[in-house]
A and B are shown apart, each in its own frame.
Chain A
Amino acid sequence: MTDTVVADGLSKSYGEVQALSDVSLSVAAGEVVALLGPNGAGKTTLVRALAGTTPPDTGSATLFDETPSEVDRARLGVLPQAFDPPGRLTPRELLRYYGGLYDERLPVEATLERVGVADVADTAYEDLSGGQRRRTCLGITLINDPDLLVLDEPTASIDPAGRRRVRETVAELASAGATVLLTTHDVAEAERLADRVGLLVDGELIAEGAPADLVAEHGGDHRFVVECERPGDADLAGLGVDVDRVERTPDELRVYGAGVDDVGPIVDHLRAAGVDPTGLSWARPGLEDVYLALTGETYDPSGSDRDTETEREVSA
């Protein structure tokens, strides 16, 4: 595939803060690439440098083999992170307005339907909810039927149903041949949407690849968590199951490297040893584990925000 977006050694600093440090990245035609990273990692700066709205200190960027300042802007659909269009205009008027800046545009009514704001099309933008506003902004971004979408946190402030709608819209556009570069804090969203994921930390692109490849390389072991009252009493000697390691917390036993088929034998062994599990969960590593491992951010694995698709609950 031809590369639609190419960043070559981009660096950018704001005073003493190094926002981007020698970042190189390419996005092939028709590909969806998601940029993940903590706040201040440089995602927005990278998107701006690629969209041509901030000049890099060093390095170069091309879109469709042209510099951002020379590229045909009718081929671009850029959604800035904190974009706030004129608040007194309605979604219908906003789509007409931004559509009027292009020689060719999509039908306004169909675009309002597509992003799910047709029912509030005549309400002033400033009176919309946060999710409706962001979806209106997405409609503005799509109105010129762009070949390349650059979306800086497109699902920020949107409720789960709205997020799903945005994800479906982006997936439809990608399947229709559009190239998509997006930033997000939602790891599950990146895993679902993206062909490839780039992980930025402190302005550096520290990992990049298909989600499955990143998980295989950096995700670590399967994890079997046994909730019980006295995990210290559990003697796993003679378990007969090949595991990588075991960790104990005051109320949990964490067994790493245990396959899903090992769950039954482990539970039987614990019960035989007098440890009565009150809850069980088994999870294969996901992109979130990769994110946490590579960014060094802390995370409580017993929390409720794990990606449910990569988790299997087993009744005790």
Chain B
Amino acid sequence: MSRVSRVRAEAVAAWHSFLRRRTAVFFTFFFPLILVVIFGALVRTGATGGGLFTEPAGYYAAGYVAVVVLFTPLSRVGSEVARTRDGRRFEKLATTPLTRTEWLLAHTAVNGVIIGLAALAVLVLVVGLTGAAVAPSPLLVPLVAAGVVLFCGVGATLGALADSQDGAISASNAVALPLLFLSETFVPPSLLPAWFRPVVDLSPLTYFSRGARAATHTGDIGVALTNLAVLSALAVVAFGVGAALVPRTE
């Protein structure tokens, strides 16, 4: 029970801290929503029918959710690690019973709630604005959860390696932007050169996109489950690395 109590105490504190940073709350939800508005409603397909955003609207629903699953934990956990280190809070926590794994677990849980809400808002907006056919697959829940765990682990790693909060945010942006466009989110593999396509498989976000698209758009449950399995395995590794790198000493 004590482990659960410690994680709960850390998560409640993190949740309250997040809710009271009004700009953080606003932009956490505003950023993915504005992407949906721009690329879902404003950007039009070219006259030739080729290029970006030429697939059916439902194809991109998984991409919009991927934006939330990727950016939010990377930037939030990365900057939280840096902020906590700067305030000597890790030095204090190192003298309490809370472990690194418990700390990251608590912050992952908070991100899970935030991202779950944001993903829901994104899906509602996608359907409302674009009329996309999106199947409400329950598989989306474990896919989002695995993605959150994975990118919280990566965020913790970036935060631990960066020497400042600014550095953590810059690093997360530098990682997130290439991943976003090279992970079958908005750019179909057919638009990439053949020699580059295997590189897409190296991105963990690819497995989220494929799984979420299979669950919500194509309805291929086998593909969704396969990608969920890969994503979960990657999440375990990323979480383990992130937890090991969370600072405990000065």
Q: A residues touching B (Cβ–Cβ < 8 Å)?
A: 48, 51-55, 73-74, 76, 78-86, 88-89, 93-94, 96-103, 124, 140, 144, 150
Contact = CB atoms under 8 A, between A and B. Distances in A.
Contacts of A89: 13, 16-17, 20
Contacts of A55: 249
Given A103-B2, A144-B96, 13 more contacts: A51-B95, A73-B95, A78-B92, A80-B91, A81-B88, A85-B89, A85-B92, A88-B21, A89-B20, A96-B9, A97-B13, A100-B12, A101-B10
The A interface is mostly helix, strand or loop, or mixed, namely: loop
Contacts, number: 89
Contacts of A96: 9
B23 interface: no
Contact of B9 (A81, A88, A100): A100
Contacts of B249: 48, 52-55
Contacts of A52: 94-95, 249
A53 B91 contact: yes
Nearest to A94: B13
B11 to A, nearest CB: 10
Contact of B96 (A88, A93, A102): A102
A53 B9 contact: no
Q: Could you say which of A88, A99, A100 has the most chain B C-beta atoms within 10 Å of its C-beta?
A: A100
14 contacts: A51-B95, A78-B92, A84-B87, A86-B87, A94-B13, A97-B9, A98-B9, A99-B9, A100-B9, A101-B6, A101-B9, A101-B93, A140-B92, A144-B96
A52 B88 CA distance: 14
Interface of B: 2, 5-6, 8-10, 12-13, 16-17, 20-21, 86-89, 91-98, 248-250
Nearest to B2: A103
Nearest to A137: B92
A81 B88 CA distance: 8
A54 B2 CA distance: 26
A84 B92 CA distance: 10
Contacts of A101: 5-6, 9-10, 93, 96-98
Nearest to B13: A97
Contacts of A97: 9-10, 12-13
A23 to B, nearest CB: 17
A54 B12 contact: no
10 nearest A-B pairs in the assembled complex, by CB-CB distance: A100-B9, A84-B87, A88-B20, A78-B95, A97-B13, A80-B88, A80-B91, A101-B96, A83-B88, A86-B17
B91 A48 contact: yes
B24 to A, nearest CB: 10
B87 A103 contact: no
A96 B6 CA distance: 11
Given A85-B87, A100-B6, A100-B8, A53 B20 contact: no
B18 to A, nearest CB: 9
A97 B96 CA distance: 12
B17 A88 contact: yes
A129 to B, nearest CB: 18
Contacts of A48: 91, 249-250
Given A88-B21, A100-B5, A103-B2, A83 B92 contact: yes
A74 B98 CA distance: 10
B97 A102 contact: yes
A139 B108 CA distance: 28
A89 B141 CA distance: 31
Given A54-B249, A73-B96, A88-B21, A83 B16 contact: no
